[in-house]
Structure 1
Amino acid sequence: MKFLTDVVPVDEHLNNIEKFINVCYVEEGWNVQQHGRVIALRSTDESRLSSAFKASLYLGKYNDMANTNRFLYSMVSAGHSYEPIRGETVLFLFIGIGKPVYDHLVTYTVGRPTRIAGGQRANVPWGFELPVEAKNPDEYAEELERIRNVIRLAKQDRAEQMQAARAKLPVGYIMPPFLMEFSEEALIKTVFRQRLFEKGAQGATVEVVSDMLNACLKVDPDKWNFLIDYHGPHIAQWEKAMRTLRKEGYTLGHIAQQAEVSLEEALEMPLYDLLIRTVGKLPPSMWEKMR
């Protein structure tokens, strides 16, 4: 990642952003948490009391409506409705993010009530993000100069409006900071699952979505660890294992053979671990094959 500090006052912008995060969120009592390039500014159900009340109403438990474990332990664990957290959201601020990652995130519209991305029109890019998968980094040096020329053209020479000049930008330019807000249900069931838990997402996107998840874990580790347990990356392995067992009709002997252990050894091993490392093993993603 390369910021063009010679033509964009990045440090000044960052100082102002930090100042007003404190004014607008921290001083208002929000538990602001950062991980990497992502800042969780506001979690509407930080104390879990809102989802506790809604889960209690859903289940008709009127004598204990502040039970913050009820949604997780009585609804998630039973596979019931996720309505109690559907309306609860996390507002994220993204800083230093390339346009390809923004494009991957903006595809999610259901469960995303807020998107603020002023840099899509008049604001200038902040730099260039080298693709994680790049094998020849030197080949991308010219992209920085292309971005500088666009900024000069629009902001210094004023020969073109930024709306027009941005057509000359390379795909991997760094967006100015932007906001996206997602419902907690959309995060755990869709965004985190498709971009993080399942294999196949592009490298930079995996990094940024990992930052989002880690920021959520800082806000409420109990809730998010519980949700990960029911929706995390191991779910794809479970599905793979069950499909394979049903299709192939394997016996424990077949599983032992795949694990390269004797049947006697297999009988003494935890069956879950044995299945995950054999019939539950996932094939490499396209990006892993490229690497």
Structure 2
Amino acid sequence: MITRNNEGNLVYQGDTFKIVLHRYSDPERLNAARNAAIYLGKSDRNNTRRPLSIIKMGHVPEVFRGEYAEFEFIDVTKEVYDHLITYTTRNMRVAGGNRALSSDDFALPSDKVKDPQTVQDAIDNSMWNYKQLLENGETKQVARSAMPIAAKLNPFVYQFNFVTLMSSIFPQRLWEKGAQGNTVKVVNGMWELVRHIDMELWDTVYEYHGEHVVEWKLVQKQLRKSGLTIERFIEAASKLIEQGTIRDDMKLDSVLRRLYGAQKTIW
């Protein structure tokens, strides 16, 4: 759910965390429009649809690199923090960390869990050990060695440029399989926030970078590897229609992605 706080910032409320969008550099897409006009040698520098055309045509999206979104993450776990910090093309990071601050709570994993109670008990024990070190006078930086990765961190701020969001964070953490559950939830919150600002831009990003694009790349790989002919495909499709696996009124790209574009993960 997205609301506005007292300062007027957009806030995404997750199940165990919260994200505040403090800054979004180009909400009306005017800077990107100017840069796109310069890039293509056009005179109409206020054409805000031109940056979308650059995405659609597959050009290098340099016109967006100077634009950024700045997020404050609240009650996000150490696990998710580690997944976000891997993107070295981020613009900035501001975090107190567990050298200066302590963690007081944790979030359970949202991946498939065989025995939720046992997992919760184990994390509870880790948190108890961590807090015991603090209570016994150990410094925060010493005590954090016993802190579980599920511990919620104190608020921290990341600023990402649009190109990193478009080409790395959203594809790798939302549209490709393999990202861990809590990370997916948090990055989805980031996605919802920027999309709330400029739905047209980010829907265009999805159309040309979303999971259907990932699946289509797998389709191409499988078709080139198998050497499938039209004749063999028609035979296979006919059998699947008879079995009720696919319908004859389905769009061809959906059929191909279902048959040859299934994503797999090594995890």
Gaps of 5+ in 2: none
Q: Between Structure 1 and Structure 2, how many residues are aligned?
A: 255
Counterpart for residue 279 of structure 1: 260
Structure 1 residue 170 corresponds to structure 2 residue 152: no
Counterpart for residue 188 of structure 2: 210
> Contact conserved, 1:32 with 1:42, CA < 8 A, in 2?
no
Instruction: Give TM-score, length-normalised by structure 1.
Output: 0.79
Q: How far does residue 152 in structure 1 lie from its aligned partner after superposition? A: 5.8
Q: RMSD value over aligned CA atoms?
A: 2.5
Paired AA for residue 231 in structure 1? H
* CA distance in structure 2 between the aligned counterparts of 1:52 and 1:105, rounded to whole angstroms: 29
* Per-residue CA distance 1:44-102 (angstroms, 9 max, x = gap): 0111111111111111112x1111111112x1122212111101001111112111111
User: CA, structure 1 residues 35+86, in 2 after alignment: closer, same or farther (shift >3 Å)?
Assistant: farther
> Contact conserved, 1:237 with 1:280, CA < 8 A, in 2?
yes
Q: How far does residue 255 in structure 1 lie from its aligned partner after superposition? A: 2.9
Match of 2:86 among 107, 114, 122: 107
* CA distance in structure 2 between the aligned counterparts of 1:229 and 1:44, rounded to whole angstroms: 22
- Correspondence list, 1:121-270, <5 A: 121-133=99-111, 134-139=113-118, 140-144=120-124, 146-148=126-128, 150-151=130-131, 153-154=133-134, 159-259=137-237, 260-261=240-241, 269-270=250-251
- Correspondence list, 1:56-95, <5 A: 56-62=37-43, 64-73=44-53, 75-95=54-74
| Counterpart secondary structure, 1:135 | coil
| Counterpart secondary structure, 1:173 | coil
Counterpart for residue 44 of structure 1: 25
* CA distance in structure 2 between the aligned counterparts of 1:105 and 1:165, rounded to whole angstroms: 23
* Per-residue CA distance 1:122-166 (angstroms, 9 max, x = gap): 111131111123322222235335435544643x66x12211111
Gaps of 5+ in 1: 1-17
> Contact conserved, 1:51 with 1:68, CA < 8 A, in 2?
yes
Q: How far does residue 280 in structure 1 lie from its aligned partner after superposition? A: 2.2
* CA distance in structure 2 between the aligned counterparts of 1:214 and 1:266, rounded to whole angstroms: 33
Counterpart for residue 76 of structure 2: 97
Paired AA for residue 84 in structure 2? L
| Counterpart secondary structure, 2:178 | coil
